[in-house]
Structure 1
Amino acid sequence: MGLKEDFEEYALKAKTLPESTTNESKLILYGLYKQATVGPVNTTRPGMFSMTEKAKWDSWKSFEAKSKEEAMNDYIVKVKQLLEEAAAASA
């Protein structure tokens, strides 16, 4: 399988992460996913009353220097890590 197929597989696996996954980890996944699928941020930063949207935008912006391929790789690594942590926590 190629990188894109692996990425799509792990994007599906990410949906199975437990509710206990931290917001910080979710934001990292969001930012990497957007960078991998869209590329650099192409919207203006949300206003101060949109705390969640602003946090998501900031996460995406933090990965702006990565290529789409780097973002895909990092996303896969992060999902694997979170799945392993979840499995260890439930063992």
Structure 2
Amino acid sequence: MSLQEKFDQAAANVKNLKALPTDAQLLNLYAHFKQATVGDADPANRPGLLDLKGKAKFDAWHKLAGTSKEDAQKAYIEIVEGLIASIGLKE
């Protein structure tokens, strides 16, 4: 199975977790997913002052600037595997 196929499977598995991950875990997932699929975040697109959730997501993603697509995919897969081990998947 290729890295892209493993990444796609991990993305599908996230939707089938038994419970919702913590906010910190969700931010980490989001950041790695965006880095793997879009690349570096553009600072010009940072959400406005009142969009706290959007800013948190953007900032988490922006911290991964310079991370390669492959490294972001590998990290995302590892995060998802850890969540599956701790939370489990729906039957």
User: How high is the TM-score relative to the length of structure 2?
Assistant: 0.89
Structure 1 runs of 4+ aligned residues shifted over 6 Å read: none
Matched residue type, 2:35 = Q
Instruction: Quote the RMSD (CA, aligned, Å).
Output: 1.2
Gaps of 5+ in 1: none
**How many residues are matched?**
87
The Cα offsets for residues 6-52 of structure 1, whole Å up to 9 and x where unpaired, read as: 00000000112244410000000000000000000135211120011
Higher RCO, 1 vs 2 (CA within 8 Å, ≥6 residues apart): 2
Cα gap change, 1:49 to 1:19, in 2 (>3 Å): farther
Gaps of 5+ in 2: none
Give the equivalent residue in structure 2 for 1:58.
Answer: 59
Q: CA deviation at 1:64?
A: 1.2
Give the equivalent residue in structure 1 for 2:4.
Answer: 4
Pairing of 1:75-86 with structure 2 (within 5 A): 75-86=76-87
